[in-house]
Structure 1
Amino acid sequence: MKTLLTVSLGALAIAAATPALAQSTDDAQNWTGPYVGGSLGYGWQPNFDRDTREVVTFDTNSDGNYGDRVRLPSGDDAFSPGFCRGRALGSSPSSCTSDKDGRTAWKVHAGYDYQIGNFVVGGVVEGGKSYIQNSVSAFSTTPAFYTLTRKLSWDGAARLRAGYALPTGTLIYGTGGLAYGKIKNSFVTSNGLNNFTETNRSDKDFGWTAGGGIEQKVAQNFSIGVLYKYTRFNDDGYTVNVTRGAAAANNPFVNPAFTSGTTNMQRTSDRFENHSVQATASFRF
């Protein structure tokens, strides 16, 4: 990411210091018109306490309320080994690998700007790939692991933007709008006895995005820039239902002494968010 930012900012500095690249002063200062282009950059997820402390939560009595404890026949907690924010590589929390939050991201975009004096307003639509994903794992006394993974397959946005145009052909702007993405969930476990059924594995969610950037004209019809965005989706509804399968009748997931005969599991956090910094390039008509 440091290399990308260095190259992008260096290109902007060279363009700003070389006004001869623009065909005329008026052209350099005029942002009105349609444009198309693309961007390439780097995306990452925040790791606030709410993220690093995410766990798997259970509904054992089928009342739709999560937070129940899965109990051994003795009444003890079947998930006393604990949880981790990441993907399990073995049957204990010490085997958990943390999420690789950094991912390459690319987008294509099309938009229109309108300039009034030094102020520029406009709208842009975009779409592409962000490759963002994260996991949370639970560990039972069996021992066994249970990992739920969330992945952003593709995403897009419709954003408004507003900014201030400098005489150097530089536009500084803020942006925000509606985001839309396809989120895929998946589940894997080392428990080979119970049966596991997933609900709402794939979901198309609306969210929102906001950020800001700087854009520099390097020719009458061409501009480059750097754009930062924060994007958030709320991915709810993904559930893993556990039934008896080949397990014993007193299996913690189905034991009639403590459950309704089945157990549902979900993640404790619906928030699926990411930050991104991208180098942009646009052709203007």
Structure 2
Amino acid sequence: MAATSVASAADMAPRYTKAPPPVVEVWNWTGFYIGGNAGYSWGRGHSDVSYFNTATGLPIAPPAGSITSAGYDMDGAIAGGQIGYNWQSNNWVFGIEADAQWSDEKGRGVFRCAATGIGGPCLPGLTFLPPGVTGTSLAVDTHLEWFGTLRGRVGVLATPRVLFYGTGGLAYGSFKTTGTMAGVTPAGVAVVSVASNDDIRFGWTVGAGVEGKITNNWSAKLEYLYMDFDSFRAGSFSLAPASAIRADVDTRFHDHVLRVGLNYTFGGPVVAKY
């Protein structure tokens, strides 16, 4: 009997336990996110200057040789942060994003209201032309100190981890305009005036980008934006009362922004069991 029991036990099939189902991470784009970015901007400013006689209030028709319009580059580094929310529906991702950026974009335009033989309207009250004087000059320095956007985003998933998107909406920024005006008094004495003006202006922006998941919470992006600010009064600069002349400066600005960013999406990973 003992021998029979041993033989029966040896003939029994081994027992197997069922393996647990694999846990697969599902890439999820829905949720609030916050992040930072850095990049570079290639901006372009264009300014037009109108001259006026401050004593009469009448406009001055600049003589031949005057410079009343100038374009100038405004390039510089940028850095900032963004916050937003995404909704994922199948392969589509919809969202809204706001960002704020520090900017080092600066540029200068140089203008001149030219003199005539005895001074002319650009040198009010002057009856002779001092040696070396070519008129009343104006240098305008423009600095985009910071800017921000509020945009919608619509994208499609090329893979569960890679999103291509388009974006557009509102742009706003703080422009500091400094004018350095130089001329002469009716007595022929050189005079210089420096003044600054700060203003927040509004415009619009459109762009596109690509964003990829590093983990379910972390993602990296590369983004391009075009920004356009309509013409605005950048400042009025005057030599009065030393010389009765004023220059009004109207500026238009557009910008090309290229930046990289890193986002953190709040919420835990989504898992599925099969």
TM-score in same-fold range (> 0.5): yes
Look up the equivalent residue of 1:62 and give its one-letter code. G
Counterparts of 1:127-166 in structure 2 under 5 Å? 127-139=100-112, 140-141=114-115, 142-143=133-134, 145-166=137-158
CA offset digits 1:196-236 (Å, max 9, x no partner): 5858x111122211111000111111111110001122352
> What is the TM-score of this pair, normalised by structure 1?
0.67
Task: Work out whether 1:241 is the aligned partner of 2:238.
Answer: yes
Q: What residue is the counterpart of 2:52 in the other structure?
A: 59
State the Cα distance separating 1:109 from its structure 2 match.
Answer: 0.6
Structure number having the greater helix percentage = 1
> What is the TM-score of this pair, normalised by structure 2?
0.70
Measured in 2, the distance between the counterparts of 1:83 and 1:62 equals 19
Look up the equivalent residue of 1:42 and give its one-letter code. Y
Q: What residue is the counterpart of 1:3 in the other structure?
A: none
Measured in 1, the distance between the counterparts of 2:255 and 2:98 equals 19
Which moves more between the two structures, 189-198 or 139-148? 189-198
| Contact kept? 2:181, 2:193, Cα under 8 Å | no
Measured in 1, the distance between the counterparts of 2:96 and 2:24 equals 25
Measured in 1, the distance between the counterparts of 2:255 and 2:102 equals 13
Measured in 2, the distance between the counterparts of 1:104 and 1:130 equals 6
Measured in 2, the distance between the counterparts of 1:46 and 1:266 equals 20
Coordinate RMSD, CA, aligned = 2.7
CA offset digits 1:244-274 (Å, max 9, x no partner): 41x5xxxxxx3xxxxxxxx33123x531221
Look up the equivalent residue of 1:169 and give its one-letter code. R
Structure 2 gap segments, 5+ residues each: 1-22, 116-132, 185-189, 267-274
Measured in 2, the distance between the counterparts of 1:136 and 1:167 equals 48
Q: What residue is the counterpart of 2:6 in the other structure?
A: none
Question: Rg larger in 1 or in 2?
Answer: 2
Change (3 A) 1:236 1:83: closer
Task: Work out whether 1:264 is the aligned partner of 2:234.
Answer: no
| Contact kept? 1:56, 1:137, Cα under 8 Å | no
Secondary structure of 2:137's counterpart equals strand
Measured in 2, the distance between the counterparts of 1:276 and 1:216 equals 20
Measured in 1, the distance between the counterparts of 2:99 and 2:107 equals 24
Structure 1 gap segments, 5+ residues each: 1-22, 71-76, 87-98, 248-253, 255-262
| Contact kept? 1:194, 1:244, Cα under 8 Å | no
Measured in 1, the distance between the counterparts of 2:211 and 2:74 equals 27
Change (3 A) 1:205 1:24: farther
Measured in 2, the distance between the counterparts of 1:55 and 1:234 equals 13
Structure number having the greater strand percentage = 2
Counterparts of 1:1-12 in structure 2 under 5 Å? none
Task: Work out whether 1:178 is the aligned partner of 2:192.
Answer: no
| Contact kept? 1:120, 1:162, Cα under 8 Å | yes
State the Cα distance separating 1:153 from its structure 2 match.
Answer: 1.1
Measured in 2, the distance between the counterparts of 1:82 and 1:204 equals 27
